Amino acid sequence: MTEVTREVFGHLPQKGGRGGAVEKFLLKSDSVKVEIISLGCIITALETKGRDGNLSDIVLGFDRLEGYVNKHPYFGATIGRVANRIANGKFTVEGKEYQLALNNPPNSLHGGNKGFDKVLWTPEVLLNGIRFSRMSPDGEEGYPGELKAWVTYTLDGGELVINYRAQSSNTTPVSLTNHAYFNLAGQGSHDIYDHEVSIEADSYLPVDDTLIPTGEVAAVQDTAFDLRKPVELGRHMQQFQLPGFDHNFCLERSEARRYCARAHHPPSGRTMEVYTSQPGIQFYTGNFLDGSLEGKGGSVYPKHSAFCLETQNWPDAVNKPHFPSALLRPGEEYNHTTWLKFTAA
């Protein structure tokens, strides 16, 4: 059984009369507790049990709404219309060129200046979760077409399921993900070097110095990106002199649920497995965290103090014809699901 409760988390500042109450929803099973707010469908807390049976909050974030309203690195947020980077913020659809905000110069990142992470969504409480919906107007952040979007979180025992759906009035690129930052030792722990990570991918996308894929689909064999067997992150990064990961791993293409990644923290016994219907997963090791933000309970979040496993379409796919198509056409439905399974051993 999943218990679902709601409360007011805070109020958005009135800008041009567009304030509003931000609600927080608590999803609780016998082994997992998740808190999600209606601003950006942000996961603000996620408590799972270690082998000692005790719950710890394993995602980075803030105690109060102000933290999420101010600039932050997308902690826990739903990302859209297009997750990750679009080269030079430009793309052409049906012969027309579109220009987006260059909010991560020289590229557009995570939907632009005011992406899906920074808007209020309309909540609907379900038996075992919560569904959020919104209408993204035609031209919002430079994207074509009016886009209806739904993000649904359900909790089933130790498994958190996130489903994304969208329908558009015009052809538009769409790639939705969640940007939770995890530390299985508990948020506020200093680093993730003792985590063991594996990713079920035979290839990955090399990037240029602005983190845009070069277009090459490279084999992981005999490289630092071969994570098909678990590696201890600190040791692995040291061995290959890696400043960290911020790369898309290419998954087997299939609409069905399939296993794609696992993170394990031996000291606590916590394990997270990721399953998805998406063609890619971005593995990011918090390289841009710098300890400047005050997080939950006064925690600071230095470099490499968390990791993200963002299921997604491949970055810049709208400009790379040989990548899986990112385009959603009128009459079609974008529908992807990601499952996060939490266990302790």
Distance CA 129, CA 156 (A): 9
Catalytic residue numbers, as ranges: 179, 310
In the block, which residue shows the tokens 């807390």? 45
For residue 342, give the nearest of 10, 23, 24, 30 by alpha carbon.
Answer: 30
Distance CA 179, CA 76 (A): 5
Positive/negative CA dihedral, 138, 140, 144, 149 = negative
Distance CA 232, CA 266 (A): 10
The DSSP letter of residue 314 is P
Distance CA 63, CA 71 (A): 15
List beta partners, residue 163. Answer: 152, 337
